[in-house]
Amino acid sequence: MTAHVFYDSVLIGICTFRRPELAATLASLEDLTPCGLPVAVAIADNDDQPSARDRVQAIAAGHSLPVTYIHAPKANISIARNALLDHARTTGARLLVYLDDDETVEPDWLKRLVQAHRDSGAGAILGPVRAHYLPDAPVWMDRARAHDTLPVTGKDGTITSGYTCNTLVDLSDPAAADLRFDPVRGRSGGEDSAFFADFLAAGGQIAFAPDAMVHETVPSDRARLAWLLRRRYRMGQTHASLIARGRSRAGRIKAAGIATTKAMVCGGLAVIGVANPAWRNRQLMRGALHLGAVSHLGGARQIEIYGTAPDGSDTDPRSGRKEN
C-alpha cells in the first residue's frame, strides 16, 4: 500500500473522448459558489491522439479555476479514470470529484457535495443527474425519467452501488486506499460499479447529496428504447459479474434462476401495462437488466462499448455512447 499525503483540496476530474460538449461543462464550472476549499480541474483525454488538448488549453487560459490537461489514451475509460486518480494522489487533492464531459453543474453543486461529505462522514458522496430531452425525444422518456441517474439503495436504505457521473471520493478514506478502475471493464463499462463494490467491501460508506444536481441533455441517438435496453442489459451483466465473485457453481445457477424469474415478471408487467408507454418501457428496461444478469451467469460474452483492451488491441471506440 502506497502512503499518500493529502491536503484539504478538491480536484474536479473529467474524462473526455471527442465530445465538444466539454466546453459547456467547463463553462458551467466558472460560476461555482465557493466551497471553502481550493479547487482545481483536470481533463483526461481518452482519445488515441490528444484531440482535446488545444481546446482545453485555450479554455484553461481564461478559466477562473486551474485546468490541467492529461492525455490518457486510448478508448478505455478505466485508463482515463485511473489517470485522474493518479493525478489527484500525486498533487495531494484529498477530494476527487468525477463529472462527465456532457454535463453542466448548478452554482451550488460543489458546495453541496462537500457539505454532504462533512455532514455524513462518508467516504463517497453521490449527486443526482437530471436528464433533459430534445424536442424529438419520445414523450414517455420524460415521464419515466429514463435517463436520470440516482443511487441504488438496499432494503435498509443504505446505498449499495456507485457511479462516476456526479461523485465525490475522499481519497484519504482507508477504503479508497490504492483502489483503481479495472482496465478490463474499461471496454465493457461497469468499471465504476466494480470500483465502488470494492470500496464498500473494504468498509467504505456512500451517502447521497440530493441537492447537488448536475444536468445533461440527451442526444437523439440515446433517446431510443433500443439504446436504453442495451444499456440496462450491460448493467445486468456487470451486476451479475459482481455478485458472482466467490460464488460456487450452484450459487451462480441459483442466482441465474432468480434473475430469470424476475425477467419473466417484468415481461408480464410490461404486457399488463401496454397502454401506458412509460410504465411498459420501464418494465422492459428492468427485464433487460435481469436478462443481462442471466446472460453473464450463463457464460455469455460481455458487451464491449469502449475500444482498447489492456493488451492494446482495438475495437470500435463508439464515441457517441455514454454508459454509467
Secondary structure (H, E, C), the chain: CCCCCCEEEEEEEEEECCCCCHHHHHHHHHHCCCCCCCEEEEEEECCCCCCCHHHHHHHHHHCCCCEEEEECCCCCHHHHHHHHHHHHHHHCEEEEEEEECCEEECCCHHHHHHHHHHHHCCCEEECCEEEEECCCCCHHHHHHCCCCECCCECCCCCECCCCCCEEEEECCCHHHCCCCCCCCHHHHCCHHHHHHHHHHHCCCCEEECCCCCEEEEECHHHCCHHHHHHHHHHHHHHHHHHHCCCCCHHHHHHHHHHHHHHHHHHHHHHHHCCCCHHHHHHHHHHHHHHHHHHHHHCCCCCCCCCCECCCCCECCCCCCCCCC
pLDDT confidence tier of residue 69, bands split at 50, 70 and 90:
very high
What's the predicted TM-score (pTM) here? Answer: 0.87
Whether 314 is covered by a domain: the verdict is no
pLDDT for residue 219 is more than 50: yes
Whether 51 is covered by a domain: the verdict is yes
Q: Mean pLDDT over residues 201-217, rounded?
A: 97
pLDDT confidence tier of residue 304, bands split at 50, 70 and 90:
low
Please, which residues bridge with residue 102 across strands? none
pLDDT for residue 65 is more than 80: yes
pLDDT for residue 296 is more than 90: no
Q: Are residues 258 and 167 in the same domain?
A: no
Tell me the pairing of strands 214-218 and 129-133.
parallel
Q: Are residues 142 and 280 in the same domain?
A: no
Amino acid at position 288, single letter: A
From 199, 221, 243, the end of a domain falls on: 221
From 160, 191, 221, the end of a domain falls on: 221
Whether 2 is covered by a domain: the verdict is no
Q: Are residues 47 and 140 in the same domain?
A: yes
Q: Are residues 90 and 197 in the same domain?
A: yes
Whether 324 is covered by a domain: the verdict is no
Q: Mean pLDDT over residues 131-155, rounded?
A: 94
pLDDT at 320: 35
Question: What CATH number is attached to the domain comprising 58?
Answer: 3.90.550.10
Whether 144 is covered by a domain: the verdict is yes
**Least confident piece of the model among 1-10, 65-74, 90-99, 171-180:** 1-10
Mean of the per-residue pLDDT values for the chain?
89
Q: Are residues 206 and 266 in the same domain?
A: no
pLDDT for residue 309 is more than 60: no
Are 138 and 203 contacting, i.e. CB atoms less than 8 angstroms apart?
Answer: no
Whether 30 is covered by a domain: the verdict is yes
Q: Are residues 213 and 239 in the same domain?
A: no
pLDDT at 120: 97
Whether 319 is covered by a domain: the verdict is no
pLDDT for residue 62 is more than 70: yes
Q: Are residues 162 and 263 in the same domain?
A: no
pLDDT at 322: 45
Q: Are residues 128 and 204 in the same domain?
A: yes
Q: Are residues 292 and 192 in the same domain?
A: no
For the chain, the maximum distance between any two Cα atoms, rounded to a whole number of angstroms, is 59
Which structural domain range is residue 287 located in? Answer: 225-297
pLDDT at 323: 44
Q: Are residues 139 and 37 in the same domain?
A: yes
Whether 318 is covered by a domain: the verdict is no
Q: Mean pLDDT over residues 271-298, rounded?
A: 88
In degrees to the nearest 10, what's the CA dihedral of 152, 154, 157, 162? -30
Are 45 and 131 contacting, i.e. CB atoms less than 8 angstroms apart?
Answer: no
How many domains are there within the chain?
Answer: 2
Are 193 and 183 contacting, i.e. CB atoms less than 8 angstroms apart?
Answer: no
Sign of the alpha-carbon torsion through 223, 126, 193, 101: positive
| Higher-pLDDT residue of 3, 98 | 98
Q: Which residues contact 189 (CB under 8 A, 6 or more apart)?
A: 77, 234, 235, 238, 303, 305, 306, 323, 324
Q: Are residues 183 and 254 in the same domain?
A: no
Q: Are residues 84 and 168 in the same domain?
A: yes
pLDDT at 298: 80
φ, ψ dihedrals at 104, nearest 5° = -125, 150
Pick from 163-167, 293-297, 308-312 the range whose average pLDDT is largest: 163-167
From 170, 199, 221, the end of a domain falls on: 221
φ, ψ dihedrals at 290, nearest 5° = -70, -35
